[in-house]
Chain A
């Protein structure tokens, strides 16, 4: 009876304008494991043993777990049932991080904005229990030795510019935070094989309404097929499965050579150190002195030498990618799955945390107004909030990267002059710091 109804549902005459059954194109390329299947007529839904969730988070990395933890911490969303699909073994057991472990090479810098999100969610206290390092000064200089810039947290009256923590510390902090609350989450240590969205046509009215069983309740959900053959249904699927970067270990140069290379890059290998301009050019800027930032008064600090490597070397391919759209019906992308950037400003994962935060707020708003969380208009609100900010950041980073790849005399001087400007013009410097700290979403340096 059920099969008959289902097959007659799919046999409706479909007028040209309406939605059609079958294949759905999922936006970004990075959710590449998702294959498009054709209609799921056959094995329909035995409502007994198929699990239904409100949200399925594909990918339990830092950003995926951050989304789960933000949802768990808000009263409007903490009753949602969430499935996290990730085959990483770190998620299942509670692998404790011992202090004696050598530092993991995979670290991230979190901005003050991210730190405040994590504090709100109650995850930051777990980070502080493990290894972490706040930093308050940053020095950037040009390899030609013509200019440098120093940034100090005191410039914006803060204590720190950011914090560096190992990725595994951040990840386990988020996991502990979720475990603490009574959030209904289920972790599936599997991989996603495919996903189907049922876009059944609503256009032609069916006369026979007798079989309105609860099994058709899954009709509006996305069906995810996992690697062990089981399936789950979810009202909203969040793609947080990363930029697909694979790290590989290369042993082409020895450790000493590597150390020598790094030290010479920091030291005099590429060019002279910039002279600290305490005496010389200051006369020109002395009438700015009133508002000068603390860091403008500091001279150039020669970086310390590196003596030994504490762990293995790793190579990460860099990429710059951006999805065309972050949201479509029932699917949304966050973090590296939506955009990858150059690591030069330490912004990558921070953009991801910003995405998770914004999506969790939008979902809470949707629940408050009784909306179906997989509805595309709601998800587009998230996209409208994050896409411009992410693109702006990517544009800034990309232009930095391109500016540094050019080694041409007059251009170098221009670049150095820009550096000096950034160093000595206080309002510009403050707004650069606040943009990099995540407090400002757009690089409007006014």
Chain B
């Protein structure tokens, strides 16, 4: 029951009070995250495409290989990344409104993110990074796949506004080691491909400035998501190549909120993405049963 109450609170956009710890205690009726199936739970998301870890988790190598194979088509809006291109404006609408509210920026300005340092973790071809740069932010894009970074850099150089984006082929962990921090950390559609989500969230938290924002989007681990995001999207409509997503790696909103909380980040708002097949457009909604996005802030007292 406590969990339902918590998730309702999240949906009603209320700030978590500092005594929120008590409501997030583990009870038995939800899958305990630390038992989540993962071949090598102790390994954090380190990837180095120059020399893959020997004997390491095949899960993450497969993930990298999957993306490296289709990296040429990132900017082909009719290609395998078409669903991402279509969903992009909707994600940006959420990001724009939450970040403007959090950083107290004028929502009617054309460059509301002027002066903000944002990192796009798992930027891929730069589909999210480029609009963020156009909105005025100083963007750093990181991705573990070298090819993606090259494609992203080439495409960003075509427009003077986006040529200022800094692209690095690295991981969140390495950035933490370098001691870099950002005002906002974006990790959209990444966490479902990561070997150890908990470590990943800790890295994201370390990258965020105090009172900074973290935005994570992923797919819910629900039956509906299985039917929609895997069966329909991969096998029936062929929007995504088969095997892009593993249902077992999906996280429920509650699990995500929990691991973020353990990393010192409180989820403030969540929204879902819904696809309207008649208009072919994605919309923001309260329905978090398939795709959802969470806006979180770093609390003053980190764990």
The contact sample of 6 A-B pairs, CB cut-off 8 A, is: A202-B151, A203-B72, A214-B160, A367-B110, A369-B92, A377-B86
Contact with B along A205-237 (1 / 0, CB 8 A): 110010010101101100000000000000000
A residues sitting closer than 8 Å to B (CB atoms) are: 15, 17-19, 75-76, 79, 202-206, 209, 212, 214, 216-217, 219-220, 365, 367-372, 375-378, 381, 384
- How long is the Cα–Cα vector from A220 to B108 in the complex, in angstroms? 27
Of all A-B residue pairs in the complex, the 10 with the closest CB atoms, nearest first, are: A370-B131, A220-B158, A370-B134, A205-B150, A369-B92, A370-B135, A203-B72, A217-B160, A219-B158, A369-B89
Determine if B57 is an interface residue (Cβ-Cβ < 8 Å): no
Whether B98 sits at the interface, judged by CB under 8 Å, is no
Tell me if B130 is interfacial: C-beta within 8 Å of chain A: yes
Measured between beta carbons, the chain A residues less than 8 angstroms from B89 are 365, 369, 371, 377-378
B284 to chain A, nearest CB (A): 12
Residue of B nearest to A209 (CB): B153
Interface contact B72-A384, CB-CB below 8 Å: no
Residue B289 at the chain A interface, CB threshold 8 Å: no
Question: Which residues of chain A come closer than 8 Å to B147, judged between CB atoms?
Answer: 205
A365 to B92, alpha carbons, bound, how many Å? 11
Smallest CB-CB separation from A76: which chain B residue? B110
Q: Is the CB of B163 within 8 A of A18?
A: no
Residues of chain B at interface, number, CB under 8 A: 36
Q: Which residues of A contact B132 (CB under 8 A)?
A: 370
- Give every chain A residue within 8 A of B38 (Cβ-Cβ): none
Q: Which residues in chain B, 57-85, are within 8 Å of chain A measured between CB atoms?
A: 72-77, 79, 85
Closest to B135 in A: A370
Complex Cα gap A204–B151 (Å): 8
The CA-CA distance from A381 to B153 in the complex, in Å, is 28
- In the bound assembly, the distance between CA atoms of A217 and B158 in angstroms comes to 4
CB-based contact A216/B158 at 8 Å = yes
Label chain A's interface by main secondary structure. loop
Q: Number of A-B pairs whose CB atoms are under 8 Å? A: 83
User: Shortest CB–CB separation between residue B17 and chain A, in angstroms?
Assistant: 33
- Whether B77 contacts A202 by the Cβ 8 Å rule is no
Binary contact track B129-161/A, C-beta < 8 Å → 1, others 0: 011111100000000000100110111011110
On whether the beta carbons of B154 and A206 are closer than 8 Å, the reply is yes
Instruction: Judge whether A372 and B92 touch: CB under 8 Å.
Output: no
Given contacts A19-B76, A75-B108, A375-B77, 4 further A-B contacts (CB under 8 A): A17-B79, A79-B110, A381-B281, A384-B279
In this complex, what residue of B is CB-closest to A367? Answer: B110
A40 CB, min distance to chain B CBs, angstroms: 15
A residues near B96, Cβ cutoff 8 Å: 368-369
Q: What is the CA–CA distance of A48 and B188 in the complex, to the nearest angstrom?
A: 39
Closest Cβ of chain B to A267, distance in Å, is: 51
Q: Does B93 contact A (CB under 8 A)?
A: yes
A55 → B minimal CB distance (Å): 14
Contacts of A369 on B, CB cut-off 8 Å?
Answer: 89, 92-93, 96, 131, 135
B159 and A372: CB pair below 8 A? yes
* Chain A residues near B93 (CB-CB < 8 A): 369
Q: Are A220 and B159 in contact (CB under 8 A)?
A: yes
Q: How far is the CA of A202 from the CA of B153 in the complex (A)?
A: 11
Q: Which residues of B contact A372 (CB under 8 A)?
A: 130, 134, 159
Question: Within the complex, which residue of B108, B131, B154, B280 is in contact with A371, where a contact is CB–CB below 8 Å?
Answer: B131
Could you say which of B72, B74, B77 contacts A377, with CB atoms under 8 Å apart? B77
Chain A, residue nearest B162 (CB): A372
User: Which chain A residues border B280 with CB–CB below 8 Å?
Assistant: 384
* B157 A370 Cβ-Cβ under 8 A: no
Contact B133 A15 (CB under 8 A): no
> What residue in chain A is nearest B85 (Cβ atoms)?
A377
Docked-complex contact A217 and B86, CB < 8 angstroms: no
Residues in chain A near residue B131, CB distance under 8 A:
369-371
Chain A nearest CB, measured from B120 CB (Å)? 12
| A375–chain B nearest beta-carbon distance, Å | 7
A370 to B155, CA, bound (A): 15
Q: Within the assembled complex, what's the spacing in Å between the Cα atoms of A204 and B179? A: 34
B92/A202 in contact, CB under 8 A: no
B151 CB, min distance to chain A CBs, angstroms = 6
What is the CB-to-nearest-CB distance from A249 to chain B, in angstroms, rounded to a whole number? 47
Contact A18 B77 (CB under 8 A): no
Q: How far is the CB of A327 from chain B (nearest CB, A)?
A: 12
Partner pick for B151 among A15, A205, A217, A370, CB 8 A cutoff: A205
Closest residue of chain A to B131 (Cβ to Cβ) is A370
CA distance A209 to B153 in the complex (A): 9
Residues facing A in B271-290 (CB within 8 A) are: 279-281
Residues of A within 8 A of B133 (CB): 370
| Residue of B whose beta carbon sits closest to that of A217 | B160
Give Cα A15 to B70, complex, Å.
12
CB nearest neighbor in B for A371: B131
Task: Knowing A17-B79, A370-B92 are in contact, say whether A204-B130 is a contact too (CB < 8 A).
Answer: no
Q: Given the complex of chains A and B, what is the CA–CA distance between A365 and B131 in angstroms?
A: 12
A203 CA to B75 CA, complexed, in Å: 9
The residue in A19, A219, A368, A375 that gathers the most chain B C-beta atoms within 10 A of its C-beta is: A368
Chain A residues with Cβ below 8 Å from B108 are 75-76
